[in-house]
Chains A and B, each alone.
Chain A
Amino acid sequence: EGSSRSRPSAASRRDAAPERMLALTSRALQSAPVRAAPALSRAFSTAERTYGGLKDEDRIFTNLYCDGSPWLDGAQKRGDWYKTKDIVLLGPDKIVAEVKKSGLRGRGGAGFPSGLKWSFMPKNNTDKPQYLVVNADESEPGTCKDREIMRHDPHKLIEGCLIAGTAMRANAAYIYIRGEFVYEAAVLERAIDEAYKAGLIGKNACGTGKDFDVHVHRGGGAYICGEETGLLESLEGKAGKPRLKPPFPANAGLYGCPTTVTNVETVAVAPTIMRRGGDWFASFGRKNNSGTKLFCISGHVNNPITVEEEMSISLRELLEKHCGGVRGGWDNLLGVIPGGSSVPIMTKETCDDVLMDFDALKDVGSGLGTAAVTVFDKSTDVVAAIGRLAKFYAHESCGQCTPCREGTTWMNKIMDRMVTGDAKLEEIDMLMEISQQIEGHTICALGDAAAWPVQGLIRAFRPAMEERIMMKQAGKL
């Protein structure tokens, strides 16, 4: 009796704790900046030059906004299918060497050096056909660049198929296009018909004596079919559940034959690289991050747009020059996801001086991915934004392997509660642990892709998550 009067009871201490911690955290949010990953010198522009300010004459996708006809007549006026026969007759080794010299890295998200990837295809295979498969299953949230190529400049892609196919010693190309791109698939089909009729592909393509077929295969609405082996499974007429690698598609791919799966943009820039030279392409961007890139900027900017710019352009210049700046000014920026939903979100502090290329973004703990930039201003509920991504991955999991199937569902359920604040503070660390149990333990990279946004949220916006929970516990929500 006496002791309960002189000391606060356990119950009242428990009730007071959220208030005290809330006060501490609110002060912390106001004063201390969020700790970002240490910025390495490689991430900053060098003293020699800054990147960006790409001139129109250096742009590859000149019909990005459909100023001219997307059909063969317009394409030929813009320089497509020019001297294609001579390029094809250079032979696979010279084409691969040129692509290696250009420093082109895969534009589908992984950024693997393309010349190296194309050189993995067997060179002396005589008993099986070899295939090029173009991954037009553009489903990464934020990404909408391949649709522009396919609906406004389809002949760049078709010619690219022929040239990349030659480099890989392929007999045919399949373009796997997502089912939702109804218009893009229809335009592509008609452009392919035009190319067949003009003798540019098919038997004796471009008069080279080589036969090369290009076919379109429509998907049916599954993000996992953007994963290369999931795509091959779907192309073979099964559910799109990815395969274990090894064996890699270059050895056992479509129908068990040597196959390379490449992104639309990677294939579509190949003809221009051959015509203008690998050195020309490598003159843009920093070392190991060369060329031009289509950036799709969405979210809270004044001018959401798809634009072709030089690699290694600073994020700030990209947003201010092409997107009319962040809504409400640069200081109204909360965070940016720089490469599609699978890469971790960056805080404003990181965004102030980061460059948009593979290495710079990797150095700050994010990634270039597909260069799909989603901008969040201070009005955003960032916990709900990442929570919606957790729901996306749970929905898109193919269900094959336990860490992904169970883990993405579990993370989704916890994130739903993080959004409403119906969680405990220790669950944030539990959520981090769950994500680490998924990452690296799955058949394909969807597990990693699901884990990274959640990890990015915890690393960059943990105080916001804690505040939400404590406000709910304190009865303020």
Chain B
Amino acid sequence: CGSIHAHRRGMLARAASSFARANAQRSILPAVSRHARLFRTSTALAAGQGSHIHRDSAENNEDTPFEFTKESLAEIDKYLSRYPDTPQGRMSAIMPCLWVVQQQMDRAHSDIKAQSKYEGAFTFDRPQGSGGWVPLKAMHAIAEKLGTSHMAVYEVATFFTMYNRNVQGKFHIQLCATTPCMVCGAYDILAAIEKHLGIKCGETTKDGMFTLTEVECLGACVNAPMIQVNDYFFEDLTPQNVVSLLDNLKEGKPVMVGPQNDRIHCLGPQGRTSLTTPPKGPYCRDLSQIADP
């Protein structure tokens, strides 16, 4: 019996050494990390913020406590009422719950003095979720609240890019660099931000104030180039005005949301070419004239 095992060990050792010899020219790394290299380049890993795999850290491990506040629980009940009251319907609340967690973990909202150039514009009285992150125990709390498994919450939290599974800087700068923004100079904006903050894309500043990531199209293409910082869009950027924007954010000074220049919403810099006359009032044709189909 022992000799069979020794025989097999010998075979494996011989196979391993010939494998290592064959790969010696290509790579000095052992076979296992060759596969890890492939994993790092796979699409699955490219999505989301970093690895799918949870790595315990000082601020995020199975012993880090997390509890929903009373306000958060009320929000969750509000969202639960939107879906059928069945086990399947309650699963729909996983995404809103993840947003509630991120809202609860937001530490930056009150320090962003967001101003709008438009009279009567809507302002957020509470964080909307993009300034926070989702701890591991929060995912467990969601699973418990909804009566589902931890894995069900993990699947959703790892699939969507906006759920941050690690601590972010106070201000999460998300720069859009997809082609419409790219041809309008998004990578120049990225270079300006990297130079000003002294970090590369994907990193957080040492003082924990800014995290910089490149994201895909944010849907504000006619106001390119632009960034999202926590819950706000800042559009029509130049390498100069983005630097003053970041300084103002850091110092807690008022910042203008939307276009950073004179543009109004999606109107071009040259102004409007339509809707130059006021809209007409209510009108409806005689509906009784509609024939049966």
Contacts and interface: CB of A to CB of B under 8 A. Distances in A.
A269 interface: no
Interface stretch (B4-12, B191-199, B271-279): B271-279
B269 interface: yes
Contact of B268 (A69, A77, A219, A305): A305
B92 to A, nearest CB: 4
B267 A79 contact: no
A179 B274 contact: no
B160 A219 contact: yes
A329 interface: no
B16 interface: no
A354 interface: no
A305 B267 contact: yes
A17 to B, nearest CB: 29
Nearest to B186: A388
A429 to B, nearest CB: 24
Contact of A220 (B160, B216, B280): B160
Given A64-B275, A138-B219, A298-B184, A82 B284 contact: yes
Contacts of B271: 303
Given A305-B267, A323-B268, A86 B219 contact: no
Interface in B155-183: 155-156, 158-163, 177-180, 182-183
B215 A221 contact: yes
A298 B222 contact: yes
Interface stretch (A34-42, A357-365, A394-402, A435-443): A394-402
A367 to B, nearest CB: 17
Interface stretch (A43-51, A104-112, A141-149): A141-149
Given A236-B88, A305-B222, A388-B177, A222 B159 contact: yes
- Interface size classification for chain B: 35 or more
A389 B179 contact: yes
Interface in B259-293: 264-285, 287, 290, 292-293
Interface of A: 54, 56-57, 59, 62-69, 76-79, 82-83, 86-87, 90, 93-94, 96-98, 138-144, 147-148, 152, 174, 178-183, 185-187, 190, 215, 217-223, 234-241, 255, 274-277, 296-309, 321-324, 337, 341, 372, 374, 376, 380, 384-386, 388-389, 392, 394-399, 405-406, 408-409
Given A217-B96, A234-B95, 20 more contacts: A66-B265, A79-B283, A94-B290, A141-B178, A142-B180, A143-B221, A147-B219, A148-B265, A179-B162, A186-B124, A220-B98, A221-B160, A222-B161, A275-B284, A301-B268, A307-B274, A341-B179, A341-B217, A392-B216, A392-B217
